[in-house]
Amino acid sequence: MLNSSNSLPRRNIFARLSILAGNTIQIAGLAAACLALALARSIDSKPAAIATVMMIVAWILLYFFCHGIAHWAVGRILGIRFAFYTLGGTGNPAGYPAGVRWLFQHLPFFGVQTEKASMQMASPAAKAIMWSAGVTSSAVVPTVGAFCALEANVLGSKLFAIFAVAWAIGTLSSNWRSQSGDYAKARRALHSKGSRV
Residue 131, classified by CB atoms within 10 Å of its CB into exposed (0-12), middle (13-18) or buried (19+), is buried
Alpha helices, H only, the chain: 19-42, 48-65, 67-77, 98-106, 116-121, 124-151, 157-177, 182-190
Q: What is the pLDDT of residue 5?
A: 41
- pTM of structure: 0.86
Q: What is the pLDDT of residue 45?
A: 55
Count how many residues are written for the chain.
Answer: 197
Q: What is the pLDDT of residues 24-53, one digit of tens each?
A: 999 999 999 999 999 998 876 557 789 999
Taking all residues of the chain, what is their mean pLDDT, rounded to a whole number? Answer: 88
Q: What is the pLDDT of residues 99-120, one digit of tens each?
A: 788 888 888 889 999 999 999 9
Mean pLDDT of 113-140: 95
CB 125 within 8 A of CB 190: yes
List the domain boundaries for the chain.
13-190
* 147 Cα distance to chain centroid: 18
Q: Examine the pLDDT at 9 and tell me if it is beyond 50.
A: yes
Virtual torsion, Cα 85, 70, 32, 43, nearest 10 deg: 160
Using CA atoms, how far apart are residues 39 and 29, in angstroms rounded to an integer?
Answer: 15
Using CA atoms, how far apart are residues 139 and 125, in angstroms rounded to an integer?
Answer: 21
